[in-house]
Amino acid sequence: MKSIRIGIFGLSRGYDNVDSILLNNAEIVAGCDQSEVLRERMKQKLPNIALYDSFDEFLNHDMDAVYLANNFAEHTKFAVRALEKNIHVISECTASGTLAECVELTRAAEKSRAIYMLAENYPYMLFNLEMQKVYKSGKLGKVLFAEGEYNHPVGPDDTYFIRRYEGHEKHWRFYVPATYYITHSLGPLMCATHSNPIRVTAMPIYFPRDDRYATASYVGDNSAIITCLNDDNSVFRVTGCAHFGGHENSYRLACENGQIENVRGDDKVMLRYDPWTTPIGEEQRQFYHPAEDVDDAVRAKKTGHAGGDYYMFKDFFQSIREGTQPCLDAYVATRMSAVAILAHRSLMQYGVPYDVPDFRKEEDRVKYENDRETPFWGNDGSAPTIPCCSHPEFRPSEENLRKYREVFAPEAK
């Protein structure tokens, strides 16, 4: 089997997935980052890698694929350039930061001979793969309602997180609306059911961090509750990145003949039927750990996100080798981005519904090809064009900022 040559753009998150790539019989031939520290760290792990601080030079390196692991809302322009050179792309979340970028990405993906895949790893956690398998079997019938929650609270004393992920006061994490980080909750549901959101509403849970926290965040919304009506008449209820309750991710598919969900706080799944819908030879209620290929299990345990990173790259490389499209192709990826963006607009109006464009259709592309509204600061210093919080006047307190700046003071290092 021919080894796929891949380059990594963004050597912070990119470094985390080196093992996931190598364990899938791929060769990491190049890396790119403006940080000399991150380039040197990668060189220590992979002595033969070619390293660049310029994306232009990096993209000219001889490689089959590129892994985009740069900032959250800055993936599209680099994905488009790679696709134009027929270089396969696996891009971290989110696919696109604006609706105009959704248009640009789908147009580029259609013209390219290369494959595009969103690097959304939660559908590849073992219990979510099991839920996909059971739903695909048809035993549960059609999905009617599904839930996806991604809860990731960060403690007030977690200075490691701050130093690694929130390195300056205009960082995207301080301006990301509560709906935008949606792919961890929505992705597993879309991959399992192939239902496509066509209308979205959202409500904020406004609960700013108190003065115990070291933060420069301009988002006072603790979470967002997002409801999607889908093209098959099913309904999803999902979060963005939520901060309520305990750290977890949980999913449920409620269908005409029964339901399957992962058990909160555990790797087990729970499959349940009604007495009159239980298949012959099965128990009405089943609690179990999903089965896993032995070799895959050994490899997956060496990677992050409960093995999801390993299985995600396995799917990407398999798509390249077989010339097939992954579930998380450009159309699914941009639809999730559009849900996130339009859910924020709904949230700002406390639940006004928005229709979700279908970027397969040129009439929908034309409608949004100039829509560049963004809550983020640009690399060129350009300011956000829309508020990032349901209360636009919200600001971090002076105590929040003092504690945040103190984390980066020389004496604190």
The backbone torsions φ and ψ at residue 56, rounded to the nearest 5 degrees and listed phi first, read -60, -50
pLDDT above 90: percentage of residues in the chain: 89
Q: Nearest-CA neighbor of 224 among 203, 244, 208?
A: 203
The answer to whether the beta carbons of residues 299 and 23 sit under 8 Å apart is yes
Taking the C-alpha atoms of residue 154 and residue 287, their distance in angstroms, rounded to an integer, is 31
- Helices in 213-361 by DSSP H: which ranges? 294-300, 308-322, 330-348
pLDDT band of residue 265 (cuts 50, 70, 90) is: confident
Integer angstrom CA distances of residue 233 from 146, 228, 266, 342 = 12, 10, 31, 19
123: DSSP letter: G
Nearest CA-CA partner of 384 in 77, 170, 78: 170
Angle (deg, nearest 10), helices 183-193 and 126-137: 30
How much is the mean pLDDT over the chain? 96
pLDDT interval class at 412 (50, 70, 90): low
CA dihedral 399, 400, 403, 405 (to 10 degrees): -110
Position 408 pLDDT exceeds 90: no
The CATH T-level fold of domain 4-118 is Rossmann fold (3.40.50)
Given a cut of 60, is residue 7 above it in pLDDT?
A: yes
Residues 6+ apart with CB under 8 A from 54: 32
**Strands 88-91, 116-118: pairing kind:** parallel
Sign of CA pseudo-dihedral 226, 231, 235, 237? negative
99-111 and 76-84 helices, crossing angle to 10°: 10
pLDDT at site 294: 79
Residue 291 is classified by DSSP as P
| CA end-to-end span of the chain | 47
Tokens of 255: 């269908």
| Buried/exposed 373-400: b ≥16 CB within 10 Å, e otherwise | ebbbbeeeeeeeeebbbbeeebebeeeb
Residue 195 near residue 143 (C-beta atoms within 8 A)? yes
Q: What is the pLDDT of residues 150-186, one digit of tens each?
A: 999 999 988 898 898 998 999 999 999 999 999 999 9
- In tens, the pLDDT along 176-213 reads 999 999 999 999 999 999 999 999 999 999 999 999 99
Domain ranges of the chain: 4-118, 127-296+328-368
What pLDDT, in 10s, does the model give residues 31-70?
999 999 999 999 999 999 999 999 999 999 999 999 999 9
pLDDT of residue 90: 98
Q: Which two tokens stand for residue 220?
A: 């006072």
pLDDT above 70: residue 314: yes
pLDDT digit string, tens, across residues 320-334? 999 999 999 999 999
Place of tokens 């990407």: 316
Encoded tokens for 400: 């929040």
Which pLDDT belongs to residue 321? 96
Statement: residue 355 has pLDDT above 60: yes
Q: How far apart are CA 252 and CA 138, in angstroms?
A: 16
Which DSSP helix (H) or strand (E) runs through 28?
strand 26-32
* Beta carbons within 8 Å of 29's beta carbon, 6+ residues apart: 5, 6, 7, 49, 50, 61, 62, 63
Place of tokens 């849900």: 339
Angstrom distance (rounded) from CA 367 to CA 99: 10
pLDDT at site 313: 98
Residue 261: predicted pLDDT: 98
pLDDT of 410 reads: 66
Q: Which residue did the predictor score with more confidence, 267 or 27?
A: 27
* H helix runs in 30-151, sequence order: 36-45, 55-59, 76-84, 99-111, 126-137
- The yes-or-no verdict on residue 411 having pLDDT over 70 is no
**Rounded Cα–Cα distance for residues 98 and 25 (Å):** 35
Q: What residues form DSSP beta bridges with 287?
A: 270
- Give the up-direction half-sphere exposure of residue 117: CA atoms within 13 A in the CB hemisphere: 25
The answer to whether 4-118 and 127-296+328-368 have equal CATH topology is no
Q: Which CATH class is domain 127-296+328-368?
A: alpha beta
Which residues pair with residue 284 across a beta bridge? none
pLDDT digits (tens, 9 = 90+) for 277-297: 999 999 999 999 999 887 898
Joined together, the tokens standing for residue 93 give 């979340």
Residue 1 above 70 pLDDT?
no
Handedness of CA 74, 88, 26, 184 (dihedral sign): positive
Going by pLDDT thresholds of 50, 70 and 90, the confidence category of residue 267 is confident
Residue 392 confidence (pLDDT) above 80: yes
